[in-house]
Chains A and B, each alone.
Chain A
Amino acid sequence: MSRPSTLSDAKLVQRCRTGDADAWNELVERYSRYVYAICVRGFRLSDDDAEDVFQDVFTRAFTRLETLRDDSALKPWLAQLTRRRCLDAVSSQSREQTADDSLVDEESADMEEIEEAFALREAVAGLSETCQEILDRFFAQDQSYRTISDELDIPAGTIASRIARCLVKLRDELEGRNEAAGGSRE
């Protein structure tokens, strides 16, 4: 798991516009999971359709970055691009199959979950690199204790307790963020 930079989205967009390849790589790293989740979790696209949408979204993002009016609105812009392309894919499927009326409701609930997960990921970035790696490998990549132990050179018998400690730290990080957000509103 690559460690994201602390560059804001607006700065990242500005650097991408200058042709900075590292900034573009960072943008793809920062949003690849988000776009992927919208495709496969939000819209239940097949792998083939999800791949088409995924590549098309980043192609459009790259070629239309100039048209983004508010550089800090990168995330909602990408979400909108992805949802539109997913809807195109779903409607072309629906012409071949019976349309699933429940999809829209499910998609809306899943989008909320994806947004919450993205916010959580930002909190994860506040943890130590080891905690980030352990949590990501265990939960997002479904790696076993043995694999995590081998890859990170950590005793296998300590993985479970490390996960538990990292989750406590994550909860503290979230509470700290929520308190700060609450304080800043007062």
Chain B
Amino acid sequence: MTPSYDEERLGELLRTLRPAPEAWVQAAKELPFARRTIDAIVERAEADLAFRAALIADLESALTREGYEPDGRVVTEIRARLVDR
């Protein structure tokens, strides 16, 4: 059966899909870039033991020193991947 839509119902449905906070959407859009950054850092940590040791000792500081933005999600994922290896 075809649903009937009066103005009130249309308004209710239009209110249902509100925009997500802009910062969340932006972070989700930047995932490909973040992923490349994470992969590059982990690859380097595998090849450079001093860099790996610095990351394990103080991840945020080591990333900042190397010119990376220590974004929370990037940090969390790098930490997990360093532990896994």
* Chain A residues close to B by CB (< 8 Å): 19, 21, 24-25, 28-29, 32-37, 41, 51, 54-55, 58-59, 62-63, 113-114, 116-118, 120-121, 124, 135-136, 139-141, 164, 167, 170-171, 174, 178, 182
Contact B11 A139 (CB under 8 A): yes
* Chain B residues close to A by CB (< 8 Å): 2-3, 5, 7, 10-11, 13-21, 24-25, 27-29, 31-32, 35, 73
A30, B2: Cα distance in complex, Å: 25
A96 to chain B, nearest CB (A): 21
- In the bound complex, residues from chain A placing their C-beta under 8 Å from that of B21 are 51
Q: In chain A, what residue has the closest Cβ to B27?
A: A55
B55 to chain A, nearest CB (A): 21
Seed contacts A32-B28, A36-B18; 11 additional CB < 8 Å A-B pairs: A24-B31, A24-B32, A25-B29, A33-B19, A54-B28, A63-B35, A140-B19, A141-B18, A171-B10, A174-B5, A182-B2
Contact B32 A21 (CB under 8 A): yes
Contact B10 A120 (CB under 8 A): yes
- In the bound complex, residues from chain A placing their C-beta under 8 Å from that of B17 are 33-34, 37, 114, 117-118, 121, 140
Contact A37 B16 (CB under 8 A): yes
A20, B36: Cα distance in complex, Å: 14
A121, B17: Cα distance in complex, Å: 8
- In the bound complex, residues from chain A placing their C-beta under 8 Å from that of B5 are 170-171, 174
